[in-house]
């Protein structure tokens, strides 16, 4: 039975897609069967993997509208996790699903057909708390929250945690917070160090011990269609995501 982890933060630019891609890649390198679901209309994760053209293929948009099965959307990537891609069409999905019965459970029902095929399904959520993200939370058992090491990003975290609580209460009692991952950390600045200290003081054991530092390598890797683990395997960022994968596997 697959562990389904949604990687979510309604604030953009916090390393969400970077975390989804590199955690999935690290788990894959640990020998696990991994599927990544790109649920962001910006399709940054799909672009990062330079997947085959999806113009004639099926994407998560068709999957949500019940126009195809989950298995029909999967792209098998060489030496990388499998992928259910996204496209800009996904931006219309929330409006089109709004009138559907059980609209919050569409993704959960679709992914349930893949539960025995994978050890992990990692969902890259959009930078919002709309219907797509709620679908991801209903489908998942865990939510992993990347948190940019900035004061304003920390303030926005409380809204996300309240949303997780509401989904747990009303739609998915099994949903848990897997943890908060501090990203874009710059230990040379007082601000980053203060924010890290405050996050750990406030959320305690819910904060992963591993911290993802700020580096241009995270921007360079997608341009090559690679995760940081393949692009710069000895880099501190690659080591950090390997450590995160070990934390998740514990």
SS (HEC) of 72-129: HHCECCCCCCEEECCCHHHHHHHHHHCCCCCHHHHHHHHHHCCCCCCCEEEEECCCCC
User: What pLDDT was estimated at residue 55?
Assistant: 52
User: What is the rounded CA–CA span in Å between residue 98 and residue 221?
Assistant: 37
Three-state secondary structure call for residue 142:
strand
10-residue mean pLDDT series, the chain (250 residues):
96 92 97 97 90 67 95 91 94 89 95 97 95 97 94 84 96 97 91 91 94 93 91 94 96
Say if CB 127 and CB 16 are below 8 A apart: yes
Say if CB 36 and CB 211 are below 8 A apart: no
Say if CB 133 and CB 10 are below 8 A apart: yes
Say if CB 22 and CB 229 are below 8 A apart: yes
Helix (H) or strand (E) holding 112: helix 106-112
User: What is the rounded CA–CA span in Å between residue 1 and residue 125?
Assistant: 21
User: What pLDDT was estimated at residue 149?
Assistant: 86
Say if CB 60 and CB 114 are below 8 A apart: no
**For the chain, where are the E strands, in sequence order?**
3-7, 34-38, 82-84, 120-124, 142-148, 176-183
193-228: b or e for each residue (b if 16 or more CB lie within 10 Å)? Answer: eebbeebbeebeeebbebbbbbbeebeebbeeebbb
User: What is the rounded CA–CA span in Å between residue 153 and residue 202?
Assistant: 14
Any idea where the domains of the chain sit in the sequence? 3-249
Say if CB 148 and CB 14 are below 8 A apart: yes
User: What is the rounded CA–CA span in Å between residue 194 and residue 216?
Assistant: 23
Q: Which two tokens stand for residue 186?
A: 């710059």
**For 18-141, where are the E strands, in sequence order?**
34-38, 82-84, 120-124
- Can you say whether the dihedral through the CA atoms of 99, 104, 109, 114 is positive or negative? positive
Please calculate the CA angle 141-161-21 and round it to the nearest 5 degrees: 55
Q: Which two tokens stand for residue 49?
A: 């993997």
Say which CATH superfamily domain 3-249 falls into: P-loop containing nucleotide triphosphate hydrolases (3.40.50.300)
User: What pLDDT was estimated at residue 52?
Assistant: 53
């Amino acid at each position: 039975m697959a562990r389904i982890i949604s990687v979510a933060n309604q604030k953009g630019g916090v390393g969400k897609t970077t975390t989804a891609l590199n955690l999935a890649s690290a788990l894959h390198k640990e020998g696990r069967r991994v599927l990544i679901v790109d649920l962001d209309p910006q399709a940054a994760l799909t672009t990062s993997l330079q997947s085959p053209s999806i113009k004639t293929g099926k994407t998560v948009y068709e999957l949500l509208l019940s126009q195809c099965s989950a298995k029909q959307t999967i792209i098998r990537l060489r030496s990388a996790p499998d992928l259910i891609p996204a496209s800009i069409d996904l931006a219309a999905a929330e409006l089109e699903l709004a009138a559907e019965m059980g609209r919050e459970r569409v993704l959960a029902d679709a992914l349930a057909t893949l539960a025995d095929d994978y050890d992990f399904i990692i969902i890259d959520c959009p930078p919002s708390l709309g219907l797509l993200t709620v679908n991801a939370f209903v489908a998942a058992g865990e939510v992993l929250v990347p948190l940019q090491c900035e004061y304003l990003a920390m303030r926005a975290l409380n809204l996300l945690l309240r949303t997780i609580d509401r989904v747990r209460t009303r739609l998915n009692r099994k949903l848990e917070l897997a943890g908060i991952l501090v990203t874009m950390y710059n230990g040379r600045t007082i601000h980053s160090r203060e924010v890290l200290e405050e996050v750990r003081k406030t959320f305690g054991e819910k904060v992963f011990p591993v911290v993802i530092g700020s580096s241009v390598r995270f921007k360079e890797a997608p341009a090559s269609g690679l995760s940081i683990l393949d692009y710069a395997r000895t880099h501190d960022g690659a080591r950090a995501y390997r450590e995160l994968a070990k934390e998740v596997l514990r």
